[in-house]
Structure 1
């Protein structure tokens, strides 16, 4: 959760397997550039271009977040340009919160959207979304572990 230019951003990541594959592939150009630099006595243009490619992939990798607007819009920013980026908050039927993820169920859609988040940004995101006056759905806290104290803290603060 970061506040930039007056807007709070709640960062999320894709599924763990996709995350590992993406970051592994994004590190390939920097290691190739370092190997090429080791072979020559000067820094060739290929090394600089591989470093620039790594920096671009690094920026894209961290460019995933939610923003909640007062007008009742949830903006979902991701690296995928084909996925819709704005969603009306009143279209959300249910939010299912687990230990590692948030699943959004929309009215009239069978397709669900799952986003993986860390514990505290997820808590603040769910609180901000549930307290939004445009939210008509329900929040379901699903816990498969009995000793997880996050949900007890959440219920104490809501009461």
Structure 2
């Protein structure tokens, strides 16, 4: 959760296997550049280009977030040209688990899974539930299996 230009972004990641593959590919050019530095003992244009590639891939990898606006939910993915906007009133249900949330709306009738860390997920669900246009339901699906972080947060908020 980051506040940029007065708007709060709630960052998410894709499925765990895709995340591991992407981040492994993102740091591979850094290891190649370091091995080239070790071999040549000087910094060449290739090494600089590999480090720039790592920085660009990190930027693309962190470009996955939600923004709650007045009447719609903006979902940004790694593709900066494929930002989706979903009307908040069309969201019918949100399933919250320990690792992810699953959004059900008219655009995603079978549901779409987004992996979010614990605290950004809590603040995202709170902000979405307090939006006056949200008429859906929020379901905690595995809160009896692991620690319920909603109860943990409200118990310590005195």
TM-score (norm 1): 0.89
CA contact (8 A) 2:68 2:74 kept: yes
Matched residues in 1 for 2:25 and 2:66: separation?
25
Once the two structures are superposed, residues 104-157 of structure 1 have per-residue CA deviations (whole angstroms, 9 ceiling, x without a partner) of 011374332110011111011001101101111111111164451324347879
Indicate the residue corresponding to 2:60 in structure 1.
Answer: 60
Q: Which stretch shifts more, 143-152 or 14-23?
A: 143-152
Structure 2 residues without counterparts, runs of 5 or longer: none
Q: Which stretch shifts more, 96-105 or 81-90?
A: 81-90
Closer/same/farther in 2, CA of residues 146 and 112 from structure 1, 3 Å limit: closer
Q: Which stretch shifts more, 37-46 or 147-156?
A: 147-156
User: RMSD of aligned C-alpha atoms?
Assistant: 2.1
Give the secondary structure class of the aligned counterpart of 2:79. Answer: coil
Trace 1:3-152 onto structure 2 (pairs within 5 A).
Answer: 3-70=3-70, 72-80=71-79, 83-107=82-106, 109-143=108-142, 145-152=144-151
Total equivalences in the alignment: 156
Structure 1 residues without counterparts, runs of 5 or longer: none
The list of structure 1 runs, each at least 4 consecutive aligned residues, that deviate by more than 2 angstroms after superposition, is 80-84, 107-111, 144-147, 151-157
Give the secondary structure class of the aligned counterpart of 1:152. Answer: helix
Alpha-carbon distance, 1:36 to partner: 1.1
Alpha-carbon distance, 1:38 to partner: 1.2
Matched residues in 2 for 1:21 and 1:109: separation?
25
